[in-house]
Structure 1
């Protein structure tokens, strides 16, 4: 991968890592379920008007929207509103990688290599350690909700793989058409119209400015720009070359949360984080087959000195 493309991959990891800080800022003003519906509505409206619908089966488009869009962000925003630290959320959400491998093995009958099995085991041990630390020092429910969001992401990955889109970016944008209506209905049923109306009525105040800026970041920078650059890179390089850069997302997320939000992690959580990142890297890397040795050219047959070429006819 050229240096310029590596810098683009690093920039996406930076964008997505800071996305959790933006979500945290948005949740200070908007109710979580309504915020998810609002986020996807802002993407869905221009998508329907300007972007051609991808030529994929509707069931996989809807499944991608339910898994990646609805379940992932519904549980993630709920978890962060319930007290899940932004930095730790960026890490736990990486459980989508081993979940995706397991779903592929169970539902798609994809072969699970020994390296992937070991990577999943290491990542699961890391998650268990982080969960145990959460149970010891804070409420465990936000941790479980974030895990549920990671599983939703894995469902979306599986549907995306079955869809086989010719233009992945179009599918990623049209996925946003699925979440708004069901999540908006859930928001009105659970959060009530009062808090929703209050958040909209005060959206122009100075106190709401960080939340609005965070929402704009997640929509324009995190989703459109970040996903667009990532899709562009995935179309030009092998997945095994590009995908490991996503492991920098929790590194950026946890570092940014420490610097901006003053979040801290216990030593056990840091060890568990290292196990998760290492396990996902191990499971997602591919074993390179050794190059086949070239056969040496056959040795020339010994020339019979008694045989001479006849002189060419004149």
Structure 2
């Protein structure tokens, strides 16, 4: 990867990591489902008027919007108000790679290499340590919500793959069109319509800043850059960069909210990210077997 693209990729990873702290900033008083709905509303409008709809069936866009909006970011945001620290939320969301691997084995009967098996074992051990050694930065409800988000990430990948789209950014923008309304309906079905009035009353400048940051730098700029990198470079080059997101999330959580990890959790986070790295790194292409010169000579004969 050329230097400028590498710096740009690291910058986007920093934005995505910092985004978890911004989520926490915006949902202090307003319910996370509603701030997430506002995020995707701003991300879609007016961008959707300048981006042609991808050539896929509507059902894929609708399914993507619901899973990406409600399943991933609605649940991830909610996990923070449920007691999960912003940094830990980012780390645990990375378990989507582990869940995707398990789904591939179970559903598609995919073969798993020894490297991925080692990574999965390391990630599972680290996950158990993270939960058992919590200093209050992990709660049962928060853990449940972030695991739902991680599982939905796997489902989202299946939707994108099934759509066979070649226009990733356009698919993302048009899919987000179907995120805000389900998020609002989900919130009102649980808490009633009074939650909307409460959100208007509690909405402040911090919420506005947080939502704008999530909509534009995180969503539109971040995914635009990321999709360009995916086109330019192989997955083996780009995928490992996403492991920087939890690192930046932990740093920003410490700087903004003094979120601390104990020694056991620091070691577990490192082990977890190493394990996920072993899972997401694609296998190196096999080199063609070299034929000894003497054998090659007789074959030519």
- TM over 0.5, yes or no? yes
User: Partners in 2 of 1:137 and 1:166 — Cα distance?
Assistant: 40
Counterparts of 2:126 and 2:58 in 1: how far apart (Å)?
A: 37
- 1:27-46 correspondence runs (5 A): 27-46=27-46
State the shift of 1:48 in Å.
Answer: 4.0
Structure 1: runs of 5 or more not aligned: 300-314
* Aligned residue in 2 for 1:212: 208
Change (3 A) 1:178 1:107: farther
Comparing 258-267 with 102-111, which one deviates more in the overlay?
102-111
Matches within 5 A, 1:165-184: 165-184=165-184
Q: Match for residue 84 of structure 2?
A: 84
**Closer, same or farther in 2 for the Cα pair 1:168/1:138, shift >3 Å?**
closer
Answer yes or no: is the 8 Å Cα contact 2:69–2:183 preserved in 1.
no
Q: Which TM-score applies when normalising by structure 2? A: 0.90
Deviation at 1:255, TM superposition (A): 0.9
Of 281-290 and 58-67, deviating more is: 58-67
**Deviations along 1:109-131, whole A, 9 cap, x unmatched?**
43322222221221122112212
Instruction: Report Cα offsets for 1:231-277 as digits up to 9, x if no partner.
Output: 10001100111010000000000011111110101222212211210
Structure 1 length-normalised TM: 0.86
Q: CA deviation at 1:30?
A: 1.7
- Residue 105 of structure 2 is aligned to residue 105 of structure 1: yes
For residues 122-157 of structure 1, the C-alpha deviation after alignment (integer angstroms, 9 at most, x for no partner) is 112211221222388753221221111111111111
Task: Say if 1:26 and 1:212, in contact at 8 Å, map to a contact too.
Answer: yes
Q: Against the structure 1 CA distance between its residues 229 and 293, is the aligned structure 2 distance closer, same or farther, given a 3 Å change threshold? A: same
Q: Which segment is superposed worse, 94-103 or 35-44?
A: 35-44
1:233 paired residue number: 229
Native 8 Å contact 1:67 1:154 kept in 2: no
Post-superposition offset of 1:201: 4.5
